[in-house]
């Protein structure tokens, strides 16, 4: 692992003295930062989920795929995991979502090891939307969203009014009310994704983890999905961690970025600190110009791939 | 928010009322499901009446109807208890409530109730068991070509049948139990082979194929040691599935299994629906996927074993019935299971009419008829439905 020093916690805040957030906090006026005053002291901002001394791998791999001393998903904020293909961002997300048990270290939700949570109990706290999802052909949107209530219902329990209300809220927030009775198989890719997000929203969790929710969507639906996520975060204070393929999109929408390279965290912090020309060259292997002064977050203009010898993408 | 136990319940204050539950039930029954139920019930009734009216003593359908619904039987709890619950329980109940166990009955009524009706009833229950079992396995393995026998059950039961008939012929009375046990043992073996810190649908199906191949070979091998044509015919009847000679004894075996399994399958329908969303989604929704999968498989195995113990290995029912129902009512398992409970009996009772009467006086195993009818129907489904590829 190169850059062991960089994989330790909060380098972006450490490298700059003083308040890193206050001078960048208002590029997009719609972003709410509930704990702005604590920005200069990163340890004061509590993490919804954090990982300690993580070594994450699959049964089929000898070496761990992801190693990191510390990873934080700050409560009430949107955190985006970015990095090239194979950098381990989805793997890290799976470990945070309790889908993959780390080989070493632990993931803690509100300070408690996720291994101690029962499956349904955890699913009431943390929602996860996988990258690709498949529903049986004739399932209607409403039926699918009702499955989001699974962790709230006992084995023999019928639907309660709380379930109905949660489903209505989820469908409303995802903006799929007009599709309610349609079979999921009749929907476009973008509509499907919004419906799946609605199902995850119906879980009514405080934390939401999403694995590349925009990757295969057209631009309009990509923006729609990101809007829903921002709205969820702003209105309900839901903590979001999202793996994004598109660095520009991540820079625009997220409060924090976690940039990953070769299974380690290369850098993390607010987009304006993390997205630099050096990062694009080191992590993504791209020569690019970064304009950090635009109101919508840093703008990236990629030029050409950099020859790195060990090229993989 | 952190609660002591994960699965125990929810943090919500509003709990479902009786009205909510009723609403859930009513919401399930829509037009398509009720027409499936009506048509199937009609087929079972017609098939059943044909079955009870033909035979060495032939009566008209009207006579058969009168015999089936003979008030002398239906007004005698003692007699009904003796038939459905057995001599021992009925005797105890009769002593307790002052019922009469023996009632004077018309000749037709005796023939219908004592000889012919049990076969129809067993056929209906076998149909329910196999259809529900198949429906569950199709969700558990996420494979629409799954049948109750996909995880080695048929080959295990078949081997047990052959062993009992040929090698341990002294224990032939225990054959139904051995068949069911053989099937269950094979299923457990399949699960053990597929288990590697967890299972997956693909590994389960592959392990099923492996165990099936080995057991099938052994079973075929044992045929060569059978020295009697009667034994071979009996073995074939068992391994293709037959309702010939079924009696109230068989009704009393399969009825409780059917009731138990139906209740569990209906209760588990929501689990099956969530399982169909894929393992990852099910897990992220808080399902203990391995546990649910094993328990649902166990329910399905129990259903299949119940059917096997009274009728042998009737093929195709568990495969095609869920398909037929799915094309009409959709893939929601709450509706699908209910549909299966109606269509399964319709298929088996209908096929058994053919098995018993088509080549009269020779009776062929009902499994042959379900295979002959089921195969082409499946082909028709495949041609007609464009998205048969998706569950």
Q: What is the pLDDT of residues A160-206, one digit of tens each?
A: 888 999 999 999 999 899 999 999 888 988 899 999 999 999 999 99
Is B317 in contact with B130 (CB distance < 8 Å)? yes
- Whether B285 sits inside 8 A of A156 (CB atoms) is no
Compute how many other C-beta atoms are within 10 angstroms of the C-beta atom of residue B98: 8
Higher-confidence residue: A155 or B140?
B140
Mean pLDDT value across residues B356-360? 84
- Whether A119 sits inside 8 A of B286 (CB atoms) is yes
Residue A159: which of B20, B274, B285 has the nearest Cβ? B20
Tell me the whole-structure pTM to 2 decimals.
0.83
Q: What DSSP element (H or E) covers B194? A: helix B175-194
* pLDDT computed for residue B386 by the predictor: 59
Pairing, β A256-261 against β A264-269: antiparallel
Closest CA to A200 of B255, B284, B62, B169: B284
Q: Alpha-carbon distance B194 to B182, whole Å?
A: 18
Strand partners, A79: A241, A256
Which residues in B lie closer than 8 A to residue A118 (C-beta atoms)?
Answer: 5-7, 286
Class of domain A4-305: alpha beta
E strand residue ranges, chain A: 47-56, 66-74, 78-82, 104-109, 112-113, 126-129, 207-211, 239-243, 256-261, 264-269, 286-291, 299-305
Q: How confident is the model at residue A37 (pLDDT cuts 50, 70, 90)?
A: very low
Which residues in A lie closer than 8 A to residue B12 (C-beta atoms)?
Answer: 152, 160, 162
Query: What stretches of B4-146 show up as alpha helix (H) in DSSP?
Result: 18-28, 31-53, 61-68, 71-74, 77-85, 87-97, 107-110, 117-140
Give residue ranges of B with CB < 8 Å to any A CB.
Answer: 1-3, 5-7, 9-16, 20-21, 23-24, 197, 267, 270-271, 273-274, 276-278, 280-281, 283-288, 330-332, 387, 390-391
Mutate to test the interface with B, among A118, A166, A184, A196 (most CBs of B within 10 A): A118
Closest CA to A248 of A235, A239, A261, A257: A257
Is B297 in contact with B191 (CB distance < 8 Å)? yes
**How would you label B50-64 residue by residue, b for 16+ Cβ within 10 Å and e otherwise?**
bbbbbbeeebeeebb
Q: How confident is the model at residue B118 (pLDDT cuts 50, 70, 90)?
A: very high
pLDDT digits (tens, 9 = 90+) for A118-133: 999 999 999 999 888 8
> A-B interface: how many C-beta pairs under 8 angstroms?
122
Which residues in A lie closer than 8 A to residue B15 (C-beta atoms)?
Answer: 157, 160
Domain B39-53+116-389 falls under CATH 1.10.3470.10: yes
Closest CA to B124 of B246, B32, B233: B246
Q: How confident is the model at residue B185 (pLDDT cuts 50, 70, 90)?
A: very high
CA B324 to chain CA centroid, Å, is 16
* pLDDT computed for residue A308 by the predictor: 67
Query: Strand, helix or coil at A209?
Result: strand
Mean pLDDT value across residues A284-297? 84
Axis-axis angle for helices B289-311, B175-194 (nearest 10): 150
Structure ipTM:
0.79
Retrieve residue A162's tokens.
Answer: 């709380």
Residue B96 clears pLDDT 90, i.e. is over it: no
pLDDT digits (tens, 9 = 90+) for B64-76: 888 899 888 888 8
Is A153 in contact with A163 (CB distance < 8 Å)? yes
* pLDDT computed for residue B22 by the predictor: 65
Q: Alpha-carbon distance B361 to B384, whole Å?
A: 37
- Chain length of chain B: 391
Q: How confident is the model at residue B9 (pLDDT cuts 50, 70, 90)?
A: very low
Estimate the share of chain B in helix, then strand, then coil, as percent rounded to the nearest 5: 75, 0, 25
* pLDDT computed for residue B258 by the predictor: 95
Residue B331: which of A127, A139, A162 has the nearest Cβ? A139
Q: Alpha-carbon distance A231 to A172, whole Å?
A: 12
Q: What are phi and psi of A130, to 5 degrees?
A: -75, 170
CA A7 to chain CA centroid, Å, is 19
Q: Alpha-carbon distance B185 to B188, whole Å?
A: 5
Mean pLDDT value across residues A52-77? 88
Please provide the average confidence, as pLDDT, over all residues in chain A: 82
Domain residue ranges in chain A:
4-305
């Amino acid at each position: 692992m190169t850059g062991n020093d960089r994989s330790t916690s909060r380098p972006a805040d450490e490298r700059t003295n003083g308040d890193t957030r206050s001078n960048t906090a208002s590029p997009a006026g719609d972003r709410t930062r509930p704990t702005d005053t604590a920005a200069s002291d990163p340890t004061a901002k509590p993490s919804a989920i954090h990982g300690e001394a993580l070594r994450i791998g699959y049964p089929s791999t000898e070496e761990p795929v992801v190693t990191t001393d510390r990873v934080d998903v700050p409560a009430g904020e949107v955190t985006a995991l970015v990095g090239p293909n194979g950098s381990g961002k989805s793997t890290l997300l799976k470990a945070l979502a309790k889908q993959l048990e780390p080989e070493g270290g632990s993931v803690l939700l509100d300070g408690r090891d996720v291994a101690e949570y029962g499956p349904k109990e955890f699913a009431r706290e943390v929602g996860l939307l996988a990258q690709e999802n498949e529903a049986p052909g004739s399932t209607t949107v409403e039926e699918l969203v009702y499955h989001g209530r699974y962790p709230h219902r006992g084995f023999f329990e019928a639907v309660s009014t709380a379930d109905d209300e949660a489903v209505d809220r989820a469908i409303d927030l995802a903006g799929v009310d007009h599709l309610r009775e349609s079979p999921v198989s009749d929907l476009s890719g973008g509509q499907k994704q919004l419906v799946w997000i609605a199902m995850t929203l119906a879980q009514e969790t405080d934390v939401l983890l999403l694995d590349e929710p925009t990757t295969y969507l057209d631009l309009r639906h990509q923006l729609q999905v990101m809007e829903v996520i921002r709205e969820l975060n702003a209105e309900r204070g839901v903590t979001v961690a999202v793996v994004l393929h598109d660095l520009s999109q991540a820079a625009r929408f997220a409060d924090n970025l976690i940039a990953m390279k070769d299974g380690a965290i290369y850098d993390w912090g607010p987009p304006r600190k993390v997205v630099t020309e050096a990062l694009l060259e080191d992590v993504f292997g791209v020569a690019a110009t970064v304009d950090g002064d635009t109101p919508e977050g840093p703008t990236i203009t990629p030029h050409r791939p950099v020859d790195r010898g060990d090229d993989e993408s | 928010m952190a609660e002591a136990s994960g699965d125990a319940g929810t943090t919500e204050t509003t709990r479902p009322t009786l009205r909510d539950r009723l609403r859930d039930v009513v919401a399930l029954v829509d037009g398509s499901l009720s027409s499936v139920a009506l048509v199937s019930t009609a087929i079972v009734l017609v098939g059943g009446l044909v079955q009870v009216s033909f035979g060495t003593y032939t009566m008209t359908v009207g006579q058969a109807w009168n015999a089936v619904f003979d008030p002398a039987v239906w007004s005698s709890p003692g007699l009904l208890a003796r038939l459905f619950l057995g001599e021992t329980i009925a005797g105890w109940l009769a002593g307790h409530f002052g019922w009469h166990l023996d009632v004077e009955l018309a000749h037709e009524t005796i023939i219908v109730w004592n000889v012919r009706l049990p076969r129809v009833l067993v056929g209906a229950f076998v149909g329910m068991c196999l259809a529900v079992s198949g429906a569950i396995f199709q969700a558990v393995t996420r494979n629409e070509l799954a049948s109750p026998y996909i995880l080695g059950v048929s080959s295990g039961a078949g081997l047990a049948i052959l062993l009992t008939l040929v090698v341990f012929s002294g224990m032939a009375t225990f054959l139904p139990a051995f068949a069911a046990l053989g099937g269950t043992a094979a299923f457990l073996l399949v699960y053990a082979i597929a288990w590697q810190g967890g299972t997956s649908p693909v590994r389960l199906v592959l392990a099923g194929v492996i165990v099936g191949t080995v057991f099938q070979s052994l079973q075929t091998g044992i045929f060569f040691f059978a020295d009697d044509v009667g034994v071979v015919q009996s073995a074939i009847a068992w391994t293709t599935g037959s309702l010939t000679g079924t009696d109230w004894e068989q009704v009393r075996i399969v009825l409780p299994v059917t009731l138990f399994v139906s209740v569990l399958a209906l209760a588990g329908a929501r689990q099956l629906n969530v399982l169909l969303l894929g393992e990852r989604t099910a897990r992220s929704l808080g399902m203990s996927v391995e546990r649910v999968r094993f328990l649902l498989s166990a329910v399905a195995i129990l259903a299949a074993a119940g059917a096997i113990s009274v009728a042998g290995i009737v093929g195709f029912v568990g495969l095609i019935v869920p398909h037929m129902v799915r094309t009409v009512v959709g893939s929601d398992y709450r509706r699908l299971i209910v549909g299966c409970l109606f269509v399964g009996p319709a298929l088996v009772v209908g096929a058994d009419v053919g098995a018993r009467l088509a080549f009269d006086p020779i009776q062929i195993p009902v499994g042959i008829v379900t295979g002959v009818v089921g195969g082409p129907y499946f082909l028709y489904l495949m041609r007609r439905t464009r998205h048969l590829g998706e569950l």
